[in-house]
Amino acid sequence: MSVDVPVLEDLDLARGRRVLVRVDFNVPLRDGVIDDDLRIASALPTIGFLRDRGATVVLASHLGRPEGRPDPASSMAPVAAHLATLLDCEVPLAPGVFGPEVESIAASAGPGGVVMLENLRWDAGEEADDPGFDANLAAGYDAYVNDAFGASHRAHASIVGPPRVLPSAAGRLLAREVEVLGRLLRGADRPFVAVLGGSKVSDKLGVIEALLDRCDTVLVGGAMAFTFFLAQGHAVGDSLVEPAMVGACTRLLATGRVRVPTDVVVATGVSADAATRTVAADAMPDGWKGLDVGPTTTSDYAAAIGAAATVLWNGPMGVFEVAPFAAGTIGVAEAVAACPGFTVVGGGDSAAAVRQFDLADRVDHVSTGGGAALELIELGDLPGLQALRSAPSSR
């Protein structure tokens, strides 16, 4: 299935056009202060392109989980203020996402102006893709741009609604994500090694199966490794497991292309001062939890990554936020950064890890959407991409 989408150059952007831009500014906040502005900074090329052509840029995003009602803790106000600093221009915050006050603010912004709408998810119509919400959201715009890759696997109103009635295109960020992940889908250079971590096999089963059609080896880490241990007949102590997934793990192991840890770091609890032990995968003690891959596994995985022509990494090897259980994730991150092949980090905790370890600039592509990236790899398409391809043309 093709994942090609229309891009900004496909839009008629005569001066004065008003463009609704769906961005993913769902950034982490700490005491009302933005903790990581990667998602905001990633939207600047699209915003700049539109402003340079005299468009009025109206930005729409969600933030947090306000559950369909206004919540001051999830207001877009800190985002608008931070964006104003990055752009060195005023970015007024509209009190809602449509209505007379929003129209007045957008009209006063003028060509090259930027406006931030209030949190989309303050209205239950956003997540429900409510027809009335859709119509109101798209009213008054000449075009729509989706630059929210991290939300494009959701058939929410702001993702699939405007393309039904407006000429639409992918922003620079979304187009880059599609280009890179499409490269993995269409035939990456071999050997192609995928490194998958995370808590549950059930969350990654479809992705593993899809990757086995495309890559040479899947390296498994994180808590989901312990369900594979069960499938191998090993004891797992108090580790997190999914007994219902043992059959699936047995089937995956039988392919001969899924590798699991040979040693693990265990502890009786998750804390910075926890007593730890490194044990073989088939020698986990009762009452202990597996919380990271061990040094032999880290070294073996690093060697496989280093020999690859293409690497996709999604999911940490352990509880890397806690120092005693970070070594496996650090080792994989460093191996991905050092790999001479084409490297992709598939968003989520893996993206946070490469940034935390100051390695992001040594990776070819760090995705802004963990869930969206995995769904695109698994299914070959996303609701947001389908919507763009079906949108009316502005030419």
Q: Are residues 163 and 201 in the same domain?
A: no
289 is catalytic: no
Number of domains in the chain: 2
Amino acid code (one letter) for 238: D
Q: What is the DSSP letter of 242?
A: -
Catalytic member of 96, 140, 371, 380:
371
> Would residue 200 show up in a list of annotated catalytic residues for this protein?
yes
Cα angle value 338/339/342 (rounded, 5°): 130
353 within a domain of the structure (yes/no): no
Nearest of 346, 362, 6, 391 to residue 174 by alpha carbon: 6
Q: What is the pLDDT of residues 23-58, one digit of tens each?
A: 999 998 888 889 888 899 999 999 999 999 999 999
160 shares a domain with 62 = yes
Looking at residue 58, what is its pLDDT? Answer: 98
In the prediction, which pLDDT does 187 show?
79
Residue 303 Cα to chain centre, angstroms: 26
Q: Is 51 a catalytic residue?
A: no
Question: Is residue 184 a part of any domain in this protein?
Answer: no
Active-site position among 18, 39, 121, 259 = 39
For the cut 60, the answer to whether the pLDDT of residue 218 exceeds it is: yes
Q: Is residue 358 part of a domain?
A: no
Task: Give SS3 for 148.
Answer: coil
My answer on whether 170 and 200 are in the same domain is: no
> Rounded distance, CA 78 to CA 348, Å?
22
Question: Please, which residues bridge with residue 280 across strands?
Answer: 263
User: What integer pLDDT is reported at residue 347 of this predicted model?
Assistant: 73
Q: In the chain, how long is the greatest CA-to-CA distance?
A: 69
What is the tens place of the pLDDT at every residue in 294-317? 999 999 999 999 999 999 999 999
pLDDT band at 1 (very low <50, low <70, confident <90, very high): very low
Place of tokens 């702001």: 158
CB 202 within 8 A of CB 242: yes
Residue 78 has a pLDDT of 96
If asked whether residues 31 and 121 sit together in one domain, one would say yes
The band of 394, judged by pLDDT with boundaries at 50, 70 and 90, is low
Burial of 213 (0-12, 13-18, 19+ CB in 10 A): exposed
Instruction: Encode pLDDT of 319-363 as tens digits.
Output: 999 999 999 999 999 999 999 999 999 877 888 899 889 999 999
Q: How far apart are CA 133 and CA 162, in angstroms?
A: 10
- Measuring CA to CA, which residue among 96, 24, 98 is closest to residue 62? 24
* Residue 234 shares a structural domain with residue 303: yes
Q: Which of 113, 341, 347, 348 is labelled catalytic?
A: 348
- For residues 170 and 194, state if they share a domain: no
362 part of the active site: no
Domain that holds residue 15: 8-175+381-390
Q: State which amino acid sits at residue 341.
A: G
92 within a domain of the structure (yes/no): yes
Burial class (CB in 10 A: 0-12, 13-18, 19+), 36: middle
Residue type, position 164, single letter? R
Q: Among 164, 183, 200, 355, which one carries the catalytic annotation? A: 200
Split at pLDDT 50, 70, 90, the class of 147 is: very high
Task: Note whether 38 and 79 are same-domain residues.
Answer: yes
Q: Within this chain, do residues 270 and 336 fall inside the same structural domain, yes or no?
A: yes
Instruction: Give the span between the Cα atoms of 27 and 42, in whole angstroms.
Output: 12
Residues 247 and 214 in one domain: yes
Instruction: Judge if 135 and 271 occupy the same domain.
Output: no
